[in-house]
Chains A and B, each alone.
Chain A
Amino acid sequence: MEKQKEKIPLFKSWKGWYILVLAVLLALVLFFEWITKTYA
């Protein structure tokens, strides 16, 4: 019942948010790896 009432911004379900957070983390790690390799 509670789930039906919950209005989730941006995505259809919370799963979208979870994937976004993990994808951003992955992108950041790749970006940091690039910095490490480029400037080391």
Chain B
Amino acid sequence: MSYIDWIVLVVTLVGIIAYGLYKSRTSKNLEGYFLSNRSMPWYLVLLSIMGTQASAITFLSAPGQAFTDGMRFVQYYFGLPIAMVVLCITFVPLFNKLKLFTAYEFLEQRFDLKTRIFTSFLFLLSRGLSTGISIYAPSIILSSLMGWDIFWTNIVMGGVLIIYTVSGGAKAVAYTQQLQLIIFAGMLVAGYLIVHYLPEGVGFKEALQVSGASGKLNVITTGISEKGFDWKDRYNIISGVIGGFFLALSYFGTDQSQVGRYLTAKDNTESRLGLLMNGLVKVPMQFLILLLGALLFTFYQFNPSPVFFNKSVETKALQTPYRDSLIQLQQKFTAIQAVQQSHTQSFVIKGQASYKDSVQTGAKKMSELQQQYRKVLAKAMPGADTNDTNYVFLRFVVDYMPVGLIGLLIAIIFLAAWGSIAAALNSLASCTMIDFHVRLKGIQYNPNDPAQCAAEYRQSRLYTLAWGVFCVITAEFASGMGSLIEAVNVLGSLFYGVILGIFLVAFYMKRIQGNAVFMAALLGEVVVIAFFLMDRYNIIGLGFLWLNVIGAVAVVLLAALLQMVLPRSAKPA
């Protein structure tokens, strides 16, 4: 990276921290620290919700996903707008009416203390680990591509934001998340440059023709073949609408990192508007990010494409006895690419439709060679991550972006990471403070007692700091385990369905009491893990999104059955 890029990167990051600190003046009590005194307008709630959901890996991984597998990943988000509507009807009015700090407080009011503590614990476990990975995932990509030390990259990625998150709580988190508008601007510039760098005569429309001919514009797929519906297929319209709905309902309705965002709104209207606007903009936004990957695919049909996008792994593999095999495959790839370039030019520039089949065949051959190359890399570097999907976009940035813009786009990656990590730290601290510290010590919240407020404020900051340190340490330990990223994604799905099931029972099944739902949650967790293990050992085929549906349905059904046999307690449900 050039000096100019370094200056742009450092100045941007320091600017973000300074802005976060400047905006961190807040009331020094629990409501001020965790909920910005419930004063936020809808547009800040919207940006905060979006910034919390879209981590750095979203912006890095999605274009790579479209580059390799096409744009069908967007279907994963189809259930989200429907979930926003259900949330606005059911969850939001109740959460705001009860003036909750955390979503899990509601479970004690509805059921009992043990259900609240159990659910809050599941949240802390899954969110704490996944936040560690949210730090590690972009760090490993940046460190591989830029040659940075992973230890220090993790520290900057996960440690520096702690300064303003500890200092300003939810308010600082929300105001720095506003800055993500820069991210969208950066992605638009990247998209413009991809099209701009295409040869003369190839514009946006032609670029779509090439990526479409190569199967990258497969936006809608059904997952249905002659053999019926493929339950293993992760991204299709059916799993997207049903599985995506359950996942989004669970994530936005029961995950404190999101609930904590819309509880900062000044009233019900602002909370609802923030969520509904998210329902309106999320799908098109993801579509545009994925479109970058489809356009990037076309770009590499006209420009030299790496066989493998993770330079660091490739360089190390070339120093092993597999060097000759790798170079041989590289040469084959280059030869096919030259032919592919000529066919693609005939297809779009000369308008010869007869070349469409050749373009498709060429793209398939290139993809097969890339797969072979990965297999050799895996033999050369056992244990190394040979999935280069996350590297596709950033490699383009580093190789083709003008000086200055590279630094800015890397700063944008940090900004995206900080937005979601900061919100996660704030929510982890709020659950630890409210659901465990305050509740188990039997402290009564009293905003009119300055001494108590000061003590709680200090303690809340300490918990935020402690979670920040925990997450950075998790990221440091994750460094040697590439597959942990996937493991933690699945980990989320192992718990989300069960947590959602508990909340669904709470909202819609008034007769069910605490003991029944608590036991149903424990058994439901066993059911989810059983399905997960059956998939792992190839007894059944099941995409991970379905675990959310299974968990929620299992808790609802089991709670209903258990309530029939368990004695009813005197406490009204």
Contact = CB atoms under 8 A, between A and B. Distances in A.
Contacts of B295: none
Contacts of B221: 36
A6 B268 contact: yes
Interface range on chain B (Cβ under 8 Å from partner): 20 to 34
B276 A17 contact: yes
A36 B218 contact: yes
Interface string B274-318: 001001100110010000000000000000000000000000000
A21 B215 contact: no
Contacts of A33: 219-220
Given A21-B81, A21-B276, A22-B85, A36 B268 contact: no
A21 B84 contact: yes
A32 B85 contact: no
Interface in B51-83: 74, 78, 81-82
Contacts, number: 68
A28 B212 CA distance: 18
Contact of B81 (A2, A7, A14, A22): A22
A32 B220 CA distance: 6
Interface residues of A, number: 22
B272 interface: yes
B272 A14 contact: yes
A40 B268 contact: no
B144 to A, nearest CB: 33
B218 A25 contact: no
Most buried by B among A35, A39, A40: A39
B237 interface: yes
Contacts of A17: 88, 272, 276
A20 B213 CA distance: 34
Given A14-B272, A32-B287, A33-B220, A25 B209 contact: no
Contacts of A39: 208-209, 211-213, 217
Nearest to A7: B269
Contacts of B366: none
Contact of B212 (A22, A24, A25, A38): A38
Interface in A1-40: 2, 6-9, 14, 17-18, 20-22, 24-25, 28-29, 32-33, 35-36, 38-40
B40 to A, nearest CB: 16
Contacts of A29: 78, 220, 237
Interface SS, B side: helix
Contacts of B218: 36, 40
B279 A36 contact: no
Contacts of A22: 81-82, 85
Contact of B280 (A8, A24, A38): A24
A25 to B, nearest CB: 4
B350 to A, nearest CB: 19
B269 A25 contact: no
Contacts of A40: 212, 215, 217-218
Contact of A6 (B78, B209, B215, B269): B269
Given A28-B283, A35-B219, A40-B217, A21 B269 contact: no
A35 B71 CA distance: 11
Contacts of A32: 74, 219-220, 287
Contact of A25 (B211, B217, B273, B283): B283
B242 to A, nearest CB: 14
A29 B220 CA distance: 8
A32 B209 CA distance: 15
A14 B269 CA distance: 9
Contacts of B208: 39
Contacts of B215: 40
A2 B276 contact: no
Contact of B268 (A2, A28, A35): A2
A23 to B, nearest CB: 10
Nearest to A30: B220
Contact of B269 (A8, A18, A20, A36): A8
A28 B240 CA distance: 14
A18 B212 contact: no
A25 B211 CA distance: 24
A27 B337 CA distance: 38
B497 to A, nearest CB: 23
A33 B217 CA distance: 10
Which of B213, B220, B221, B279 has the most chain A CB within a 10 Å cutoff? B220
Nearest to B217: A39
Contacts of B217: 35-36, 39-40
Given A39-B209, A40-B217, A21 B85 contact: yes
18 contacts: A14-B89, A14-B272, A18-B88, A21-B84, A21-B85, A22-B85, A25-B283, A28-B283, A32-B74, A32-B219, A32-B287, A36-B218, A36-B219, A36-B221, A38-B212, A39-B208, A39-B211, A40-B212
Given A2-B97, A18-B88, A40-B217, 18 more contacts: A6-B268, A9-B269, A14-B89, A17-B88, A17-B276, A18-B89, A20-B280, A22-B81, A22-B82, A24-B280, A25-B279, A32-B287, A35-B217, A36-B221, A39-B213, A39-B217, A40-B212, A40-B215
